[in-house]
Amino acid sequence: MYDLIIRQAKCPDGSLTDIAIRDGKIAATGQLDSGTTATQILDLHGKVYASAGWIDSHVHCYIKSPIYHDEPDLIGVASGVTTVVDAGSTGANDVDDFYQLTREAKTNVLAFLNIARTGIVTQNELADMEQIDKASVRDAIARNPDFIIGIKARMSSSVVGKNGIKPLVRAKEIQQENNDLPLMVHIGNNPPDLDEITDLLTSGDIITHCYNGKPNRILSPEGVLRDSVKRALSRGVLLDVGHGSASFSFEVARLAIAQGIVPHTISSDIYCRNRATGPVHSLATVMSKFFTVGLSLEQVIECVTCNVADALRLPSKGRLEVGADADLTLFEIQHAPKVFLDSEGQSVTGEQLLVPLAAVVAGVTLFTDEGKSNHVFER
């Protein structure tokens, strides 16, 4: 007897499978016997896709943040996302409060800890090197080992002020002193120059805002990949989208992907304002934009499931495998013209839109507004 069986789920590769869940874990996959019983059965009739639960690895959901904030469940399960990772909204001063607030959420919430004690309460948290206190970071990580999964450094001119590359040098020291936790590095306007940044990065480090359209971007003025970025990628540095309000260009993404420079992870950099008024709206919207620049459905899904789980060292998430956490996203694809905007104000008309219908978190099914009205789920 299982807690939940999802029958005839459509996989991203087009095949069909059944998924059985018990005690918050995936207990069986494949074609289950028709007589197999469960407390709840969802028959998708081969019409609804199922994937491992979507993970948005760059959000801002500390509700008390004065600049970038949102409610975890609005950008999480209400949008088909089972896990969100806050990207440095909090530092050592307030991460404990953030953790306590997230215990009320239905969405799994994790955090990159800002190397600045205050997190993002101003736009220039790394302009004062005194803000970066190694002991405070170490102690915060020790207090929250299952919540803080990495550290974050925002390396753009408005953030670091006159400190240039120094905050990143300190961030790498912090990383090495804390079990080589994943390091996410925000890139934007220079200084510091992107070449300086990438030359410091090592295997597993994450460059977020990888397709931004600013002068300090991954492509040269001629539209080819910078040598420094090429070297970084060869060392195992990862590219994350981090769309946001000012950090995604269709032109840059299209040129890069045409050269085989694909993102390792797709994330939204969502918070209340760019969720409500765009250009982000949701992780599903950001994912859908990548159909217009050359990625397949399977590639897009990998960028929010197994790729993220590997990058963030979350072995129980990201795959529909026996023993994995029973986190799933159920979704459909609408085929109709849809106008998408990037962060530069440029528009592209796509033909496919991902529509999340439900998030399953630890075996509990949470329908989105679209899922509640979908006839496939009628018993």
Cα–chain-centroid distance for residue 287? 10
What is the Cα–Cα distance from 287 to 149, expressed in whole angstroms?
23
| Residue 317 labeled ligand binder | no
- From the CB of residue 100, how many other CB atoms can be counted at a distance below 10 Å? 9
Cis before residue 279, ω within 30 degrees of 0?
yes
| Residue 375 labeled ligand binder | no
What is the Cα–Cα distance from 68 to 214, expressed in whole angstroms?
21
| Residue 269 labeled ligand binder | yes
Return the structure tokens found at 326.
């029973």
- From the CB of residue 308, how many other CB atoms can be counted at a distance below 10 Å? 27
| Residue 60 labeled ligand binder | yes
Quick one: three-class SS letters along the chain? Answer: CEEEEEEEEECCCCCEEEEEEECCEEEEEECCCCCCCEEEEEECCCCCEEEECEEEEEECCCCCCCCCCCCHHHHCHHHCEEEEEEECCCCCCCHHHHHHHHCCCCCEEEEEEECCCCCCCCCCCCCCHHHCCHHHHHHHHHHCCCCEEEEEEEECHHHHHHHCCHHHHHHHHHHHHCCCCCEEEEECCCCCCHHHHHHHCCCCCEEECCCCCCCCCCECCCCCECHHHHHHHHCCCEEECCCCCCCCCHHHHHHHHHCCCCCCECCCCECHHHHHCCCCCCHHHHHHHHHHHCCCHHHHHHCCCHHHHHHCCCCCCCCCCCCCECCEEEEEEEEEEEEEECCCCCEEEEEEEEEEEEEEECCEEEECHHHHCCHHHCC
| Residue 264 labeled ligand binder | no
What is the Cα–Cα distance from 156 to 193, expressed in whole angstroms?
9
Tell me if 232 sits within 8 A of 207, measured CB to CB. yes
Binding-site residue set for Zn(2+) = 58, 60, 152, 186, 209, 269
Binding-site residue ranges? 58, 60, 152, 186, 209, 269
